[in-house]
Structure 1
Amino acid sequence: MPMITTADAPARQPAPWWFNLAGQLLQPWVRIRRDPAEPATLLQAGVPVCYVIERDGFSDALILQRACREAGLPSPMQALSGTRRRRSVFALTRRDGWLFGRNRKRAASEPLRQLVHSLEGQPELDVQIVPVSIYVGRAPSRDSGWFRVLFSENWVMVGRFGRLLALLLNGRDTVVHFSAPVSLRQMLDESGTIAPERFARKVARVLRTHFHRIRAAVIGPDLSHKRTVVDSVLNAEPVRAAIVAAAAKEKISHAKAWRKANKLLLEIAADYSHPVVRSASFLLSNFWNKLYDGIAMHHFDKARAAAPGHEVIYVPCHRSHADYLLMSYQLHVSGVVVPHIAAGVNLNLPVIGPILRRGGAFFLRRSFKGNALYSVVFNEYVAQLIDRGVPMEYFIEGGRSRTGRLLAPRAGMLVMTVRAFLRAPRRPVLFQPVYIGYEKLMEGKSYAGELSGQAKEKESLIGLLRGLKVLRQRYGHVALNFGEPIELTPLLDAASSDWRAAGADPDVKPEWLNSVTDRLAEQIQININRAADVNPINLLALALLATPKHAMAEADLLTQLELGKAMLEELPYSDRVTLTPMNPAAIIAYGEQMGWIQRVQHPLGDVLTVGAEQAVLLSYFRNNVLHLNATAAWVACCFLNNRRMSRASVLRLGQIIYPFIQGELFLPWDADGFVAQLEATIDFFVRRGLLESTNDGRSLERSPGQDDGAFQLKVIARSLIQAFERYYITIAALAKNGPHTMSGGELESACTLTAQRLSLLNELSAPEFFDKALFRGFIQKLRERRIVWTDADGKLDYDSALEGMVRDARVILSREVRHSILKITPGGERETATEEPVDAVPVQALPDDASAADLHRRHVDAEQHEHERRSGDDRRGPTPDA
């Protein structure tokens, strides 16, 4: 379109002298950036222009006048040609009073009605309506001071005094956005015979929607819940029905039940505030600088590229209270809208709670049982967030991990999210897993205490103030790794072809819902682990905690660190795993600097050691990356007590044990994928000289126990050996007590006590060794594979194959460990299996649905095969260590 020239525009009329004087006074405080830079190209030549601004404000009129003058546009202060209007501008909202007046949205249709009447009877006359959005302090500079963000642009229409402060503080960052003009004549012709008053109201609604979209694009969506969500939740049909039901059940008035629901909602709802978020970003930048040496984000560009058009749910692992703030801070400084975060109601503390709430936190109770009204209100609140496209963040582990491992997921929030999407599937949902890796934790000592039996300290303001002493320490680097996102729609398509019909009745729960959420939860945990960051502390923990006294000669430690890095590089777990670029010497120096390891000087070579207390804390960081070491640890475990094994035995026994370590470590492979990874690991060990391949590749042999290669294998093996010891404790307790004697809960308690006592006797520095949740997970896997089951009396029953598993444990566990466990384990005096082990028997891989009888039958066949094979060539079996 041609640019409007001075000749094309109506004759300019001078603005009042006081208006020009105010513009001159304001000019030093305001710097305008036009969007687009040349808005005159948008206009149609020769057609009168009428500007529409979002709100009635003297400062907005001054800014618009200056922007039009600088762009060569017609003045908004002149009379509108062909009409009776004295000015070529009007506002959608008007304000009563002067300093603290309220906005009135009903006034917008009056000027539009005047324009419509002006066009009646003059078919040649047209007016082009130009919406103009004015934002003061849309994105204050990070160097300009945190106080200015309090008066930056947001969704609240402030009074004149607030606008004055915003101009004084942020006027140099003023954006004037000119939208494409709309022909009023064309809209009037398209509307047909509609009455002028109704037409004016319709145009006003269209303009409000337009301004709402522009504001959302410029400063983010309107997330002020106290104004936009609370009423929607309380007016939703499920909540209204729950209020009626609560009034009838509790025999109270409807008004009282409504007030109760409103109180519950105010306890839950966030009160998101852009100024508070921006203020917090300035404060947190200083806080992080005091606390951490750096915060790195990896693969964020991939997450940003996948997000547009989706309802994004961030699902990070939960390691520390800092997770909330780190995620929000990093997303904010990266130009992404801060998500709403589901936080435990225990964090709704005085002073802290309101700040978190304005930063996007919404609070939930630990349990919804016994409170139907609360459950309905909370579910509806989550549904409203998803319906509005508000990004969310929650931790599906249900709480912070005290061991460093991912916890078994709790699907409560996932179920709410899926059901909300089924109800209104307008925008596809995308789950974004995030791995958060630390080098030192503020809560480290409290975690170790809780795992040792101490009561969890309840969150309180006094406790928070006492905890400020952590600011005197340094906590190294932090990594936020964004994993591969998971789309919900393909999971629903796989579950049911008509899943879209499931949202027709929100009270009906589809039979496939639980299976979908279980698969989704497991995949989230897998993708978190597939995005792990391996930092120097992780590598030191894997090496040093695998030695009896947590000490290693410097030369050996250098070799072990080099081996660990090479293994991660040559056997990639995932393309999203990141690895420290430090070389082994730099890793050791960094560990000393961070205070994790100490150097003991000696004439024959320095020794690096970890203190007893530090070893307990360091186990957390070993567990962060234990899954990356799983295949290497299994292969190495096979040679802890054996010199030789057939390759087929390592692979097939690995297939049998894999479902249990997969469930514990959230490994990504299926059975065939795990075997392929084991093959690659064996080949790596052969290339490195840790194993020797003989008999045309059918047999594997390690060097004698005193050799460096054997030592390196032992270090790798011991990172996972405690998992197999826990498994042995469980099956030994069952076998020792006999069938029909213990319930699942009794077995968990017996295993926990046994592990605690074994830990005391052997001075284990791994408090997760007796974590009850790990025993519970293993027992659940035994149930799923029908190795054990519950009888009619609620007691556990099993097949004789379980005792075969006790015998098979001799492949991995030493005689001393097995006898210690059997001696400590509480139970009857039943004899356990004492037959010779079938360590290297080429046991055939069993299908996932194999029964206990199948296992037992295969075990008997394997024993017979081993007896016949040994009579021909005893050298091929497992050979005890020299």
Structure 2
Amino acid sequence: MPTMTTADPSYRSRAPWWFNLAGHLLEPWVRLRREPAEPASLLQGDAPVCYVIERDGFSDALILERACRAAGLPSPMQPLPFTRRRRSVFALARRDGWLFGRNRKRSPQDPFGQLVRALEGFPDRDIQIVPVSIYVGRAPTRESGWFSVLFSENWVVVGRFRRMLAVLLNGRDTVVHFSAPVSLRAVLSEETELRPERFARKMARVMRTHFRRIRAAVIGPDLSHRRTVVDAVLNAEPVRAAITTTAARENITYAKSWERAHKMMMEIAADYSHPIVRSASFLLRNFWNKLYDGITMHHFDKARAAAPGYEVVYVPSHRSHADYLLLSYQLHASGVVVPHIAAGVNLNLPLIGPILRRCGAFFLRRSFKGNALYSVVFNEYVAQLIDRGVPMEYFIEGGRSRTGRLLAPRAGMLVMTVRAFLRAPRRPVLFQPVYIGYEKLMEGKSYIGELSGKPKEKESLVGLIRGLGVLRQRYGHVALNFGEPIELTPLLDAASSSWRETTGDPNTKPEWLSSVVDQLAEKIQVNINRAADVNPINLLALALLSTPKHAMAENDLLAQLDLFKALLEELPYSERMTLTPLTPSAIIAYGEQMNWITRVRHPLGDVLTLEGEQAVLLSYFRNNVLHLTAAAAWVACCFLNNRRMSRASVLRLGRIIYPFIQGELFLPWDAEGFGAQLQSTIDFFVRRGLLEAVGEARVLERGPGQDDGAYRLGVIARSLIQAFERYYITIAALAKNGPHAITAAELENVCTLTAQRLSLLSESLSPEFFDKALFRGFIQKLRERRVIWTDANGKLDYDSALEDMVRDARVILAREMRHAILKITGSEEKESSRNAAGAEQASAAPEQSLESPEPMNTSEELHERHVIAEHHEHERASADHPKE
């Protein structure tokens, strides 16, 4: 919005000389911005105009007079026709005192009563009432000082002295908001039954509500008084019932039970303070400049355009403690209301906790189990925030990801949000996913320790002070990508056409609620991943971590980076994914600058390598974007240990494995969509010369092992191969124990120990290889697919589908890795007998090609074998009769 200062030359001010003199003295200190830019277009007809401002003040009158002069509007200082009023402006509230001021409301009969009486008996008269909101210092600029932040606009009614300081310090950022005029005659004709006194009181209430709504849109909801929210929660019917139940169950007085609930609320509730938020923003600006080289936001304009009219819930990925501050700071700096953030009670530290609380953080315990009163109090607090239209932010992963992948969602906060909306669906809810991408993490080394088995260090003020040393480092760039927003109402409509009939009951929990929440959680994680930012560190991690010694010749690394960039550009994962514009050579230079990679000089060509624990740290950033190359990695995996394979086999095996990698990486496609993505990826590899399509494009073939194309395919494949190795560990351990012999928890423990043992024997495995959560997710997906199930005794049972998965794994995994897994799990004897049986069959049958070691028992598979056999025959004929 441009600044508007040009005066209308035809404007005639009726103000006294001393008022005009004060306006000239104030003019250098104030720069106005009108909303809308041309408010004169809002006026209707020639009826006299009366301005209504929210709060009384000399500076507000001066600002209004100047804004009207610049916009060509009637002067607020002229007498109002038909009335005895000497001015065409009045305020709903006055200030008393010079320093702090108290809000004293006028009697409604004063202004509105006079206007109503002026129209009585004169049906041809009318007055246009124009509400005007004036905000001084909405958002201090980069050059603003500390006092400018303290005296910026907020909900607190201040005295004349503080208002004067606010104008002097922040007057150059003044907004004058003109609302559409209200015809007093039209309103009177609609309220013919009301007496003039009651009508005047109603008009005053309507105006106060209007000003509160405008102020909430500009500077956020009024939650500066924590006590009002606490009282509202404790007086809510569900909380009072829970207090009574607790008192009866524990045989204590109601007063003591109420005190317990009050203590819980004081532990939970935010104490939002606009001055503190602005002060924190002022401090964080310098902090981010010292810590990061830049913070960028992508697709924020789309997110801002979608938000009006919705209760917005920000649901970002959670990778660092900096996530809380980064998103709130960027939203505030962009002129958007800072959300209330759900934070773990472990962050409620001395000194730090109160600051976070005043910046909008509300605290929750890790578990509500066994504490019904706390659960009811917290649920009611969330419901109050939603009912008041307060934007919120929480992390559905439940905690920070130690591996770089998105964690399986925990639906607690989502359930509370959905139930709060069902209880009072006044404003539709919009979930805004946000992907947060880093180039280096402050918590990197602690994550490695936790993945290696060390207990998580408890947050403390001493630990925070001890960790300030990390602030001496630089952490590169940070990206905040706003994903596709998700509306709650369409999900509810799809689940039940009668969901609106369940509203109003705070205890409502319909049968379809769990499925809606699960769909919502899955969609949030998918949309976060769809908004991924691919930075130079991600690409270096994808390439270097897929080599045995985490080292590559510079020419090979340049080619591999170029291949990854081409893949992501030609087959974009989604329209909201962003990719670094740096060239491969610039990416390498940047990695060296960030001290991620080391250059080893050599006469035959430089080598880029990772030293020490850099490889382990870098695995975090590979996992950030692993989902983007999942389809390409699967196709490449099929040729890791096979020279040739039919296109149909690649697609068939891909459809089998897809549900499991989809659950682990939150991929966006259905089965058909993934098949189409595989087809496009195969075509891409053929265009790039990494695969050759033969036999009427039904057979795919890679070059020999020493070929450059085969090498690059292998690098892509190894980014995902560890997932298949984990899957093989699970099914091998289950097969070794047999049906009805082991529970899901016991299988999870066995798999974790096996993976830990295997990682000790292999230097190339990353720390998340033995992450228990990944095994838990795979076991759960096997149960969902009915590959395994729980019997009456809680033990796991399975059928022949598990044997099929073992057979398919032989196509992908190398013989050495399979034997190592089988040896640790104790399944080697069973595999040896299976191989012996296979050898006997092979001696009585023609040799099968490498790409199809599984038995051929369908017409489709027989056709695939026939196509490959024809190709082999053609190769032999070409070898016998070479071309001239």
**TM-score when normalising by structure 1:** 0.90
* Deviation string, structure 1 residues 795-816 (Cα, Å, up to 9, x no partner): 1122244234323321111221
Equivalence map 1:92-103=2 (5 Å) = 92-103=92-103
Matched, 1:402 2:364: no
- Within 2, Cα distance between the matches of 1:589 and 1:373? 57
**Paired residue secondary structure (2:645):** strand
Q: Is the 8 A contact 1:841 1:862 kept in 2?
A: no
Q: Is the 8 A contact 1:402 1:451 kept in 2?
A: yes
Alignment correspondent of 1:740: 740
Alignment correspondent of 1:807: 807
Q: Classify 1:601/1:445 alpha carbon distance in 2 versus 1 (closer, same or farther; 3 Å).
A: same
- Within 1, Cα distance between the matches of 2:276 and 2:29? 24
- Within 2, Cα distance between the matches of 1:207 and 1:859? 79
**Paired residue secondary structure (2:55):** coil
Give the residue type in structure 1 aligned to 2:384. Answer: Q
**Paired residue secondary structure (1:574):** coil
**Post-superposition offset of 1:146:** 3.6
Give the residue type in structure 2 aligned to 1:771. Answer: D
* Deviation string, structure 1 residues 416-444 (Cα, Å, up to 9, x no partner): 11112222223222222111111111111
Q: Is the 8 A contact 1:843 1:862 kept in 2?
A: no
**Paired residue secondary structure (1:436):** strand
**Post-superposition offset of 1:518:** 0.8
**Post-superposition offset of 1:404:** 0.6
* Deviation string, structure 1 residues 11-52 (Cα, Å, up to 9, x no partner): 95858x7x7887676566445555567767767898666543
- Within 2, Cα distance between the matches of 1:569 and 1:71? 50
**Post-superposition offset of 1:88:** 5.2
Equivalence map 1:81-160=2 (5 Å) = 83=83, 89-105=89-105, 107-117=107-117, 128-160=128-160
- Within 2, Cα distance between the matches of 1:707 and 1:74? 82
Q: Classify 1:427/1:876 alpha carbon distance in 2 versus 1 (closer, same or farther; 3 Å).
A: farther
Alignment correspondent of 2:339: 339
Q: Is the 8 A contact 2:636 2:713 kept in 1?
A: yes
- Within 2, Cα distance between the matches of 1:865 and 1:140? 69
Q: Is the 8 A contact 1:597 1:611 kept in 2?
A: yes
- Within 1, Cα distance between the matches of 2:41 and 2:719? 68
- Within 2, Cα distance between the matches of 1:634 and 1:41? 62
Alignment correspondent of 2:287: 287
- Within 2, Cα distance between the matches of 1:344 and 1:586? 40
RMSD, matched Cα:
3.4
Q: Classify 1:61/1:737 alpha carbon distance in 2 versus 1 (closer, same or farther; 3 Å).
A: same
* Deviation string, structure 1 residues 760-800 (Cα, Å, up to 9, x no partner): 11123410000000000111111111111112221112224
Alignment correspondent of 2:366: 366
- Within 2, Cα distance between the matches of 1:836 and 1:829? 14
Matched, 1:524 2:524: yes
**Post-superposition offset of 1:686:** 2.1
**Post-superposition offset of 1:631:** 1.5
Alignment correspondent of 1:852: none
- Within 2, Cα distance between the matches of 1:843 and 1:500? 54
Give the residue type in structure 2 aligned to 1:561. Answer: L
Alignment correspondent of 1:853: none
**TM-score when normalising by structure 2:** 0.89
Alignment correspondent of 1:439: 439
Q: Classify 1:370/1:65 alpha carbon distance in 2 versus 1 (closer, same or farther; 3 Å).
A: same
Q: Is the 8 A contact 2:695 2:867 kept in 1?
A: no
**Post-superposition offset of 1:144:** 2.4
Give the residue type in structure 2 aligned to 1:261. Answer: A
Q: Is the 8 A contact 2:424 2:504 kept in 1?
A: no
* Deviation string, structure 1 residues 221-242 (Cα, Å, up to 9, x no partner): 3343526533332332222222
**Post-superposition offset of 1:393:** 1.6
Q: Classify 1:89/1:588 alpha carbon distance in 2 versus 1 (closer, same or farther; 3 Å).
A: closer
Equivalence map 1:110-259=2 (5 Å) = 110-117=110-117, 128-224=128-224, 226=226, 229-259=229-259
Alignment correspondent of 1:640: 640
Give the residue type in structure 1 aligned to 2:454. Answer: Q
Q: Classify 1:249/1:160 alpha carbon distance in 2 versus 1 (closer, same or farther; 3 Å).
A: farther
**Paired residue secondary structure (2:107):** helix
**Post-superposition offset of 1:257:** 2.9
Equivalence map 1:840-859=2 (5 Å) = none
Equivalence map 1:243-322=2 (5 Å) = 243-322=243-322
Alignment correspondent of 2:629: 629
Give the residue type in structure 2 aligned to 1:463. Answer: G
Alignment correspondent of 1:848: none
Q: Is the 8 A contact 1:619 1:765 kept in 2?
A: no
- Within 2, Cα distance between the matches of 1:222 and 1:78? 34
Matched, 1:453 2:456: no
**Paired residue secondary structure (1:93):** strand
Matched, 1:714 2:707: no
- Within 2, Cα distance between the matches of 1:44 and 1:430? 36
Q: Classify 1:695/1:371 alpha carbon distance in 2 versus 1 (closer, same or farther; 3 Å).
A: same
* Deviation string, structure 1 residues 263-289 (Cα, Å, up to 9, x no partner): 322322222233322222222222121
**Post-superposition offset of 1:512:** 0.9
* Deviation string, structure 1 residues 425-470 (Cα, Å, up to 9, x no partner): 2322222211111111111111011000111111122222222222
Alignment correspondent of 1:760: 760
Matched, 1:650 2:650: yes
- Within 2, Cα distance between the matches of 1:806 and 1:124? 90
Matched, 1:562 2:558: no
Give the residue type in structure 1 aligned to 2:691. Answer: L
Alignment correspondent of 2:594: 594
**Post-superposition offset of 1:755:** 0.6
- Within 1, Cα distance between the matches of 2:865 and 2:65? 97
Q: Is the 8 A contact 1:649 1:840 kept in 2?
A: no
Alignment correspondent of 1:493: 493
Alignment correspondent of 1:684: 684
Give the residue type in structure 2 aligned to 1:794. Answer: G
**Paired residue secondary structure (1:104):** strand
Alignment correspondent of 1:849: none
* Deviation string, structure 1 residues 346-395 (Cα, Å, up to 9, x no partner): 11222222222222222211111122222122212222222232222211
- Within 2, Cα distance between the matches of 1:313 and 1:613? 38
Q: Classify 1:593/1:410 alpha carbon distance in 2 versus 1 (closer, same or farther; 3 Å).
A: same
**Post-superposition offset of 1:184:** 4.3
Q: Classify 1:13/1:585 alpha carbon distance in 2 versus 1 (closer, same or farther; 3 Å).
A: closer
How many pairs are equivalent? 859
Q: Is the 8 A contact 2:291 2:475 kept in 1?
A: yes
Q: Is the 8 A contact 2:116 2:196 kept in 1?
A: yes
Runs of at least 5 residues in structure 2 that lack an aligned partner in the other structure: 1-7, 843-847, 876-884
Q: Classify 1:690/1:98 alpha carbon distance in 2 versus 1 (closer, same or farther; 3 Å).
A: closer
| Greater CA drift, 207-216 or 756-765 | 207-216
**Post-superposition offset of 1:874:** 10
**Post-superposition offset of 1:873:** 4.8
Alignment correspondent of 2:325: 325
Q: Classify 1:225/1:368 alpha carbon distance in 2 versus 1 (closer, same or farther; 3 Å).
A: farther
| Greater CA drift, 797-806 or 831-840 | 831-840
**Post-superposition offset of 1:610:** 0.6
Q: Is the 8 A contact 1:79 1:86 kept in 2?
A: yes
- Within 2, Cα distance between the matches of 1:693 and 1:12? 87
**Post-superposition offset of 1:119:** 5.3
Give the residue type in structure 2 aligned to 1:170. Answer: N
- Within 2, Cα distance between the matches of 1:378 and 1:163? 38
**Paired residue secondary structure (2:613):** helix
Alignment correspondent of 1:854: none
**Paired residue secondary structure (1:131):** strand
**Paired residue secondary structure (1:494):** helix
**Post-superposition offset of 1:66:** 6.0
Alignment correspondent of 1:474: 474
Q: Classify 1:586/1:111 alpha carbon distance in 2 versus 1 (closer, same or farther; 3 Å).
A: closer
Give the residue type in structure 1 aligned to 2:771. Answer: D
**Paired residue secondary structure (1:383):** helix
| Greater CA drift, 429-438 or 747-756 | 429-438
Q: Classify 1:257/1:59 alpha carbon distance in 2 versus 1 (closer, same or farther; 3 Å).
A: farther
- Within 1, Cα distance between the matches of 2:549 and 2:642? 23
Alignment correspondent of 2:881: none
* Deviation string, structure 1 residues 703-725 (Cα, Å, up to 9, x no partner): 22122222112111111111111
* Deviation string, structure 1 residues 245-271 (Cα, Å, up to 9, x no partner): 223223333333333323322322222
**Paired residue secondary structure (2:505):** coil
- Within 2, Cα distance between the matches of 1:8 and 1:141? 32
